[in-house]
Homo-oligomer: A and B are copies of this chain.
């Protein structure tokens, strides 16, 4: 088990599909593309200057988009887990 600290979130990576519904691979645009992951553990939240913690907006099981070059990978029992700061998460997909 992994328990992220402060505003950290642990994710299991979801491989991205660079294809449209019709199966055609699209050429990349100049824009940076985010990646998908499933939340596996959530930290206790960012410490505010008044000493309280701001709880995370995401929960275990959420599918989230995050910025490609953020976070650090760790192996837990042979499985890759990415740990990143909540501010590097962009959106929840549902």
Interface residues in chain A, defined as those with a beta carbon under 8 Å from any beta carbon in chain B: 1-6, 8, 10, 20-22, 26, 29, 31-34, 41, 43-44, 46-52, 54, 57-58, 64-65, 67, 71-78, 80, 82-83, 86-87, 89-94
Contacts and interface: CB of A to CB of B under 8 A. Distances in A.
B82 A31 contact: yes
A83 B57 contact: no
A90 B94 contact: no
A1 B93 contact: yes
Contacts of A67: 72
A10 B50 contact: no
A63 B3 CA distance: 11
Given A1-B93, A57-B5, A90-B4, A31 B72 contact: yes
